Structure 1
Amino acid sequence: MWDPAADPSVVRWRFSPLGDPRYADLDPAASWIYPCEAKARRHRGRTLVLTTASFGFVAAVEYPTGRRYWGTAIGPGDDLFNPHSAEILPDGNVAVACSTGALVRLYAASCGPDAARYAEAPLKGAHGLHWDRARRVLWAVGDDELVTYEVGGTPARPALTQVSAVALPVAVPGRTAGGHDLFPVAGRPGRLWVTTNASVFQYDVRRRVFVRDYPGHELIDRAKVKAVGSDPRTGQVLSTVPEGGLGETWWTTKVSVHRPTGEYTLVKGGIYKARWWLPS
């Protein structure tokens, strides 16, 4: 049970750009609405938390100081673009998946905290991103496809070129698969977690196939999973699925864990995605 009011020690760290002068130019009162991603990454000796919010806020935030490595507001004040996920590349640039905007952007974040130049590629329903260090490509999942992009140009003037695409499995012919989450499978190089509206898959990169042969699939594999990820230290898998009766249809108060089975509940919460704290 996570109840910050009753037990403040359950909160190890927190971030909000509201009232923080380092993020004032991003108009967080308008753009920091419905936070939807927070994942830790290591970059050149620093731990960064990559975070996005549906009304336009995107930032790479230094942990634990809260300092701004980079940030932008995409269409602040509305969900015209709806940034859903972000990823940092080895050169320090930051990619953003925008679901409503149907695109992936790669910002020249290495040029400074307010760098605005970007490259762009279309992807219907862009929802998740992952940088593949071994293959040096950027993976992205959208409504219908799992794709890779080659990153070209220079850090100051990046370029994105799609180099592969594979159709997501469709549960009902004629329906959109509804790709949602994308994350590496801990301890299984060459495998990616991919969730759709109907199922939770692992994608075998070498064989180019979606599989459901992973341990615990009988509990993990279910519809409308918004986030999934495995802990390399324990092998546990977490996932989130919306529950009814909350303020928004995509919220839950619970984070499920599998192998062994358990559950964390955020009192009076509204969780969309959950992530293991795994700076890498």
Structure 2
Amino acid sequence: MRFKNMYCLCGMLLFMTAVNAQSAKKFLVCGDSKVLLVDYNQSKDSTPAVIWSWDAHEAADLPENYRTKMFNTMDDCKAINGGKQVLVSSSSGAIAIVNLDDKKVKFVASVPNSHSIALLPDNRVVAAASTNKAGNKLMLFDIARPEKVLYTDSLYSAHGVVWDAKRKSLFALGYSVLREYKIASKDALKLANEWKIPGIGGHELQPAPDGEHLFVTEHGGSWVFNIKDRKFSKREGMPDAENVKSLGQIKAGQYIYTIPEESWWTFHVKFSAPERIFSFPDMHVYKARWFTN
């Protein structure tokens, strides 16, 4: 009887764990001056249940120029530090780190036509500065000294940056190449590898949930890069279209992605395997990301 009760208790704990994991299914959406956090399961039909939001125009702790001008076109948002903070970047010219609990801005810096941002060890942040007179490069910052650029490296139409903690590598995507950088010192990176991507107009760069592949999108479609074999390929069932702006996947297999409807923006966030669509009629959505904590 004791073992039977223990078996039932273990079964109940596993069930509750699964339920909690399911109820915690959330995703980030960014566009205009805003970043939203949406509860997937609490949403009804195509109407998103927004449980958190940050609007740069309302952030009193941002310097006025940043608040009114430099976060007008939010184009990336990533959860960091166990979901306690969010990295944001804006093609209007800035990057930031924002607390989830009190919405305080813990770091802000100017980056020309910023298109992506990643957190590195030793409180370093790297940003992709895309096509701009002062852009087309990677920029490295110390969170404690946001006004000082520690390191830059030329990368035409820089659009994506991803830190791979397992390999201690920074992957960066440009117009026609995917690069791998290593940390040379706390204040510098060094180029280790470069691969030609299968197309032009590199845009999205995201790690696959297995930690062994990267999702890469370019003007013509979506690809999977095998980090070990150093090869690009198509994956059956993966969203594939022209100009995919964001593409991600959770371990359960479901994809999240955005494709422009007008110019560079969309009013919908799409999912596949299984399929679902959320509407954001009052927002020029650029990217959407699974939120894991």
Q: TM-score, normalised by structure 1?
A: 0.83
Partner of 2:188: 159
From 103, 107, 115, the equivalent of 1:66 is 103
From 253, 256, 263, the equivalent of 2:270 is 256
Distance 1:50 1:123 in 2: 21
Q: How many residues matched? A: 247
Partner of 1:125: 157
SS across alignment from 1:27: helix
From 103, 112, 128, the equivalent of 1:97 is 128
Question: Superposed, which structure 2 residues align to 1:212-227 within 5 Å?
Answer: 212=234, 214-217=235-238, 220-227=239-246
Q: 1:8 to 1:273 in 2, by over 3 A?
A: closer
1:163-204 deviation per Cα after TM superposition (whole angstroms, max 9, x unaligned):
11000112xxxxxx1100000111x22100000100100100
1:183-234 deviation per Cα after TM superposition (whole angstroms, max 9, x unaligned):
0111x2210000010010010011110011x3413xx1111100000022x3
Q: Which amino acid is the alignment partner of residue 231 of structure 1?
A: I
SS across alignment from 2:286: coil
Q: Please identify the structure whose Cα radius of gyration is greater.
A: 2
Partner of 1:77: none
Say whether the 8 Å CA contact 2:74–2:91 is kept in structure 1. yes
Say whether the 8 Å CA contact 1:193–1:200 is kept in structure 2. yes
- More strand per residue: 1 or 2? 2
Partner of 2:175: 143
Shift of 1:269: 2.4
Q: 1:9 to 1:141 in 2, by over 3 A?
A: closer
From 32, 38, 41, the equivalent of 2:77 is 38
How much is the aligned-residue C-alpha RMSD, in angstroms? 2.1
Question: Superposed, which structure 2 residues align to 1:44-83 within 5 Å?
Answer: 47-74=84-111, 81-83=112-114
From 168, 173, 177, the equivalent of 2:197 is 168
1:251-272 deviation per Cα after TM superposition (whole angstroms, max 9, x unaligned):
1011111101221111232111
SS across alignment from 2:256: strand
- More helix per residue: 1 or 2? 2
Q: Which amino acid is the alignment partner of residue 139 of structure 2?
A: R
Q: 1:256 to 1:21 in 2, by over 3 A?
A: closer
Point out where structure 1 has 5 or more consecutive residues left out of the alignment.
75-80, 171-176
Distance 1:209 1:9 in 2: 37
1:271 aligns with 2:285: yes
Shift of 1:25: 5.8
**Sequence identity, in percent?**
28
Larger RCO: 1 or 2 (CA < 8 Å, sep 6+): 2
Distance 1:17 1:239 in 2: 24
Shift of 1:64: 2.1
Say whether the 8 Å CA contact 1:26–1:72 is kept in structure 2. no
Distance 1:203 1:128 in 2: 14
Q: TM-score, normalised by structure 2?
A: 0.79
SS across alignment from 2:63: helix
Moved over 6 A (4+): none
